[in-house]
């Protein structure tokens, strides 16, 4: 009989992966194997290899800011002001941050003041220029092909930290704000319960209509009246209170109303926030989604994705950036500062990335008129909190941002690092529908050639 992923997750949780303070024996063996790759050197001849220091698991939740479509690395976190107009366009004056030596795009002044709280990964690479393939690479950390569709990191976290990891919250353990990401199946071969719950709606509107939680034109008072009427009409529950099936149905109804009317449902009510807090994030769909993500992780939700599209700028790229970058700057800086002020950043990973970057050379010719194409050869990501150290840059591209020339970071390197910080053993086994046992991380499966991994991000862990 095959193990179900939920059974596997429960069994591994009881073992605790050798506790929440370490990555487990298998994870340490994996780290030992990867460290020489990360550092680019091995032990001296005849000398015993030095054991790397143990990595602590400090993260409880992840907020993924998914910049769907692929943001330009040159126009966000890896500016190239000396490359000329054909590469940097009008962005020739990058901003110095509050960390000496680190500069970011001139359109991100608020984030420039918080560089000590995040790390920039300028060596991201995978080489794919297709949305679907690139999204799968970045979020599942697996190469496409074969008969198995692997789960993305959100579903893995939901499996090990949510349903199978002792999570007792009323809210789903994996939420997407506000629409599904699309492009690939987030749960992969895992059961459908590991798919994200997508709220729908727009949190900048009043009320924020959350599918299954908040209905338009139905007040809380009316919901309570409906609940009372339903209870009054439920003669079966009164006549057979000890019937297991009846008890189960009553329990489900109570939980459903608790989610709608109780603390869980109130999490979605942003009207309870002070006006100045909401203003700080920006009264936009994205800004209020970032505020809601903070509220969700404060409730213990393990994985939240903010699906923020509009970055697929094949045409008139700089006109689009005039709106997108200030919105990103305002909301993301507010999120990082708010998490830090509330003591949540220490245990929350904030991960900002798209599926790839955009072509460093601007396509000025018609019909693009200053657009940028897809570019998976080199791009950037931002990570903060949860055990990632801020004020650092990992990786480097050439003077035009076209090639990674120092410390390449592949998607499986980044995801493997996040699994360690989350206390999820990369060598833990999952069972595919075909009955095959596969590891959570492809690094533990030894399926990634040495030349295609830079190793765990120990520089910032």
Best-predicted range by mean pLDDT (29-33, 420-424, 444-448): 420-424
Among 149-153, 248-252, 375-379, name the one with the lowest average pLDDT: 248-252
Q: Which tokens in the block code for residue 296?
A: 């969700």
Q: Is the N-terminal amide bond of 207 cis, ω within 30° of 0?
A: yes
pLDDT of residue 181: 78
pLDDT of residue 22: 35
Of 295, 90, 302, residue with least CA distance to 208: 295
Best-predicted range by mean pLDDT (5-14, 50-59, 402-411, 433-442): 402-411
Of 194, 174, 141, 165, residue with least CA distance to 438: 141
Among 74-88, 90-104, 163-177, 344-358, name the one with the lowest average pLDDT: 163-177
pLDDT digits (tens, 9 = 90+) for 309-332: 999 999 999 999 999 999 999 999
Cα separation, 122 vs 111, in Å, equals 16
Residue 184: pLDDT band (50, 70, 90) is confident
pLDDT of residue 168: 84
Q: What is the pTM of this model?
A: 0.81
Among 53-67, 254-268, 300-314, 368-382, name the one with the lowest average pLDDT: 254-268
């Amino acid at each position: 009989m095959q193990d179900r992923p939920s059974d596997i997750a429960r069994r591994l949780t009881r073992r605790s992966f050798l506790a929440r303070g370490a990555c487990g024996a298998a994870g340490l063996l994996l780290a030992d194997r990867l460290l020489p790759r990360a550092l680019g050197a091995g032990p001296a001849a005849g000398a015993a290899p030095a054991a790397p220091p143990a990595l602590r698991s400090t993260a409880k939740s992840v907020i993924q800011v998914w910049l769907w479509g692929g943001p330009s690395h040159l126009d966000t976190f890896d500016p190239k002001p000396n490359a000329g107009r054909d590469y940097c366009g009008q962005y020739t004056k990058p901003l110095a941050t509050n960390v000496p030596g680190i500069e970011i795009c001139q359109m991100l002044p608020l984030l420039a003041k918080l560089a000590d709280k995040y790390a920039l990964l300028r060596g991201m690479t995978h080489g794919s220029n297709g949305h679907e393939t690139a999204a799968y690479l970045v979020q599942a950390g697996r190469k496409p092909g074969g008969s198995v569709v692997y789960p993305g990191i959100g579903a893995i976290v939901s499996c090990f930290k949510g349903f199978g990891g002792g999570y007792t919250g009323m809210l789903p353990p994996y939420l997407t704000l506000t629409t599904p990401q699309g492009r690939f199946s987030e749960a992969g071969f895992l059961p459908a319960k590991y798919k994200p719950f997508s709220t729908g709606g727009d949190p900048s509107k009043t009320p924020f209509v959350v599918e299954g939680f908040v209905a338009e034109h139905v007040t809380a008072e009316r919901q309570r009246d409906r609940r009372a009427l339903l209870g009054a009409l439920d003669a079966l529950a009164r006549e057979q209170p000890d019937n297991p099936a009846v008890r189960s149905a009553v329990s489900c109804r109570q939980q459903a109303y608790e989610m709608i009317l109780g603390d869980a449902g109130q999490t979605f009510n942003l009207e309870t926030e002070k006006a100045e807090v909401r203003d700080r994030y920006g009264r936009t769909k994205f800004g209020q989604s970032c505020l809601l993500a903070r509220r969700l992780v404060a409730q213990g939700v393990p994985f939240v994705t903010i699906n923020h599209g509009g970055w697929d700028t094949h045409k008139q790229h700089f006109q689009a950036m005039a709106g997108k970058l200030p919105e990103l700057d305002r909301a993301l800086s507010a999120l990082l500062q708010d998490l830090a002020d509330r003591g949540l950043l220490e245990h929350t990973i904030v991960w900002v990335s798209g599926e790839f970057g955009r072509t460093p050379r601007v396509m000025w010719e018609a019909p693009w008129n200053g657009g940028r194409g897809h570019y998976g050869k080199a791009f950037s990501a931002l990570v903060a909190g949860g055990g990632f150290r801020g004020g650092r840059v990992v990786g480097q591209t050439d003077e035009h941002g076209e090639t990674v020339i120092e410390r390449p970071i592949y998607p499986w390197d980044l995801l493997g690092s996040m699994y360690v910080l989350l206390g999820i053993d990369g060598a833990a086994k999952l069972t595919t529908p075909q009955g095959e046992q596969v590891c959570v991380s492809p690094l533990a499966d030894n399926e990634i050639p040495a030349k295609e991994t830079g190793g765990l991000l120990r520089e910032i862990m």
